[in-house]
Structure 1
């Protein structure tokens, strides 16, 4: 499974890429607003120059024709741009058109198996189930990841699952077990994936025991 960063903050992306574990980035209008760029297009270009992989940028239009027009413009920002489109009737129509134009689409706000099936049928390159938001309403978001994974295998779909709305490291681990191709994580969760209290204790002991010892002179 690949890891993407769910952020639009340049400093977070640079640090994630430097760790050598980030294969892509997902953004949305809310994340871009938090990054507060003076020029959003230039900001996305900067992200694409840092990440050697897919970078999702979301349309803000809700009308089918406007989604297509905006999607085509967004796709020209960089070769690694993926157009992010919400699962609506207009979104499905727009995804079908963009897919035929060889524009990769990340179909977002997926909350059911039926929505995932429709996204796959219109050629979405990526399907993003929002597991954390499902957990928030007392539904096991991981059950949806498992179901979508089984459906895509059965139908030989080329769509990839991006486990989105990830809240903690366990979400990442479970998503990997259940067949998600990608998990997109906030920067905080990325940092949490590295940490373990026993690692810290072990390192502290090693350093304490090695005082006065030099392997490299």
Structure 2
């Protein structure tokens, strides 16, 4: 499934309206880039649900207690929000508690396949490898997804590839075995635009218009 990694309501409303995207993922960085904060999560959740999508919100905190408190605040908005927690000891501890209570969890900021084992032990439904950031750090983000896909199986979380920098990364992580992908609205829009497709559509329109003109001339 395809998700949108954004907090821009205008962009989200337009793209969600296509019916092609399964929901919205957010984190503190995404919120800040859009000039928003956790105070705006209810609005973003409502917009996502209006279009039938799944909403992901990230809990923050320096320790397990703070992460629990942040998770509780997210779930006060709605119990069907997927809570994002980091692949750290406190984050995975809280993840296990939440999944045991029936909450869906995504383990985020993942850079190694071994973290997938911990996410599975915590009962997480999703895991998010950071593809672009991994490559920036000198590793191979696509290979990370490929290794995680090889490890995946029954009882393992769905791989939701994140930090995708362009259309090539989107296709490559899909080929590598990611179950789901999340991307910025800018990257999402590139999926709709290909030069050769545009040429073909323009040709179709020209031929259709020309054919109609000839038909109308013949009929007059």
CA deviation vs aligned residue, 1:79-103 (integer Å, no higher than 9, x gap): 4311111111111111111111111
Once the two structures are TM-superposed, the CA of residue 60 in structure 1 deviates from its matched residue by 1.9
- 1:40 alignment partner in structure 2: 40
CA distance in 2, matches of 1:44, 1:202: 37
The residue that corresponds to 2:4 in the other structure is 5
* CA RMSD of superposed structures (Å): 2.1
The Cα shift of 1:45 comes to 3.4
5+ residue gaps in structure 2? none
Partner of residue 114, structure 1: 114
Q: Per the alignment, in what secondary structure is the counterpart of residue 209 of structure 2?
A: coil
2:26/2:56 contact within 8 Å kept:
yes
Contact kept in structure 2, 1:13 and 1:50, CA below 8 Å: no
User: Is the contact made by 2:71 and 2:83 (CA closer than 8 Å) also made in structure 1?
Assistant: yes
SS in 1 for 2:187: helix
Counterpart-to-counterpart distance in 1, 2:185 and 2:25:
12
Aligned-residue offset at 1:212: 4.5
* Cα distance in 1 for residues equivalent to 2:41 and 2:208: 51
Query: Alignment partner of 2:135: what SS?
Result: helix
* Counterpart Cα distance in 2 of 1:46 and 1:162: 22
The answer to whether the Cα contact below 8 Å between 2:80 and 2:103 also exists between their aligned partners in 1 is no
Is the contact made by 1:48 and 1:78 (CA closer than 8 Å) also made in structure 2? no
**TM-score for the superposition, normalised by structure 1:** 0.90
Separation in 1, partners of 2:118, 2:199: 49
197, 200, 209: which one pairs with 2:198? Answer: 200
Partner of 2:92: 92
Q: Indicate if the aligned counterparts of 2:82 and 2:106 stay in contact, CA closer than 8 A.
A: yes
Q: Tell me whether 1:60 sits opposite 2:60 in the alignment.
A: yes
Once residues 62 and 124 of structure 1 are traced to their aligned partners in structure 2, the CA distance between those partners, rounded to angstroms, is 20
8 Å Cα contact 1:72/1:103 also seen in 2: no
Residue 117 of structure 1: CA displacement? 1.3
Asked whether the equivalents of residues 82 and 104 of structure 1 are also in contact (C-alpha less than 8 Å), the reply is yes
Task: Assess if the C-alpha contact under 8 Å between 1:110 and 1:128 holds in 2.
Answer: yes
What SS does the aligned partner of 1:83 have?
Answer: strand
Larger Rg: 2
Q: Structure 1 residue 205: deviation in Å?
A: 2.1
